[in-house]
Structure 1
């Protein structure tokens, strides 16, 4: 199963695609490490963002999207644009989307540490949180 991990940060949906088969992880090279929106207040740009994300999922045959959740309030609360992008992703037809809490990600990685150094994955440093989200999801599924 191909899973897309997403971290929403500012106007960006930072992406990491990963699959796990017979205990082996695969991180395919993807053409874009993030999908950006210029003005989240513009309905046309929101539709374009949603279409672009949907097309990305279709092109790479991604079956599931996991988004690292953000706090609704408090010091580490997510911004309003992030929540709009999250909704746009969740409303894409025929895509299974799940929000993972930061605590779940942290707990799963503590129980099942990443077997390689992140620098050896070939991903950019800014993709690390999306990587952790998708890794923890796949690990939690293999233990379920």
Structure 2
């Protein structure tokens, strides 16, 4: 099973794909590492964003998305665009979508002593931890 972890920051969905290899999480190198939705008021761009994510899922045989939740209110609340991106991701066909709290992601990473693969860019670390949190909770 391959899981794509996603951290939504601003107008971007940062992606990292994880799978189990001999019972341990490993990183799969997708061709797409982040997708941007620059103009959420342009229907063509919204559709292109959705098609880009769908292509990533199909190309790599990804069966589930693990999205790191953002706060809805308070100082660190996610912006309106981040919730629009989340809704687009939740509507994709052919994959399960799970929302994981930052606390769950951190707890799973600590519990399993998760190490970041060298093949990841620094901006992908939280997305990878999110994918691994779901992956490890299912084994």
| TM-score of the superposed pair, with normalisation by structure 2 | 0.94
Runs of 4+ in 1 over 3 A off after TM superposition: none
User: How far 1:44 moved relative to its partner?
Assistant: 1.7
> Counterpart in 2 of 1:83?
83
Structure 1: stretches of 5+ with no match in the other structure: none
Instruction: Report the Cα offset of residue 25 of structure 1.
Output: 2.6
Residue correspondences, number? 139
The answer as to whether partners of 1:5 and 1:66 remain within 8 angstroms in 2 is yes
Q: SS state of the match for residue 121, structure 1?
A: coil
1:31-50 correspondence to structure 2 within 5 Å: 31-50=31-50
Structure 2 residues not aligned, in runs of 5+: none
- Following superposition, the deviation at residue 69 of structure 1 comes to 0.4
The answer as to 2:54 corresponding to 1:54 is: yes
- When structure 1 is superposed on structure 2, of 59-68 and 98-107 the one drifting more is 98-107
Distance 1:111 1:61 in 2: 28
Cα shift at 1:27: 1.3
- Give RMSD over aligned pairs: 1.2
- Pair 1:134 & 2:131 matched: yes
- In 1: Cα distance, 2:84 partner to 2:65 partner: 16
Could you tell which deviates more after superposition, 66-75 or 99-108? Answer: 99-108
TM-score by length of 1: 0.91
Where relative contact order (Cα < 8 A, 6+ residues apart) is larger, the structure is 2
